[in-house]
Amino acid sequence: MFKRSDKLADGQVDTLIGKATSVQGDVEFSGGLHIDGRVTGSVRATAGVPAALSVSEHGVIDGSVEAPSVVLNGRVNGDIFGRERVILGAKARVQGNVHYSVIEMALGAEISGRLVPSGSALPGAPPSALPGATKVPSVGEVPA
């Protein structure tokens, strides 16, 4: 009747870093982490366990982010590695590259960096280097 699920419930928060809180140093977490304050250092999920990171419009991370699921409405000054899903809200600001499997971006989200789909042939490889990728002709270009 009751079964343990290894999936994290949508919106589940196990740890909260409040708006008036500032953390200096790297943070490693499992479960749900919600950031309203500031983290100066990397934020990463423990490998092999369900984890989700959410950052409010007041939240700031000065460092890289690595988690299966990332929901960003605040600011990240560093690269984001979303192993499963990255959601960028309208107030999201990223100064760095976003590595993703699935991405959702709201109108108004800003990225100063590159979008890098997971499974790229080589880091920094153009999208045409992905298996099954097709080149989209530019305006005025005649398709081959």
Q: Which residue has the higher pLDDT, 131 or 84?
A: 84
Confirm whether pTM is higher than 0.85: no
Q: Flag whether pLDDT at 133 surpasses 80.
A: no
- Report pLDDT digits (tens) over 68-101: 999 999 999 999 999 999 999 999 999 999 999 9
Q: Is the CB of residue 103 less than 8 Å from the CB of residue 122? A: no
Average pLDDT score over residue span 40-67:
96
> What is the tens place of the pLDDT at every residue in 95-117?
999 999 999 999 999 999 999 99
Task: Report pLDDT for 61.
Answer: 98
Query: How confident is residue 40, by pLDDT bands cut at 50, 70 and 90?
Result: very high
Mean pLDDT across 38-66: 97
Tell me the pLDDT of the chain averaged across its residues: 84
Q: Confidence class of residue 12 from pLDDT cuts 50, 70 and 90?
A: confident
| pLDDT at position 136 | 42
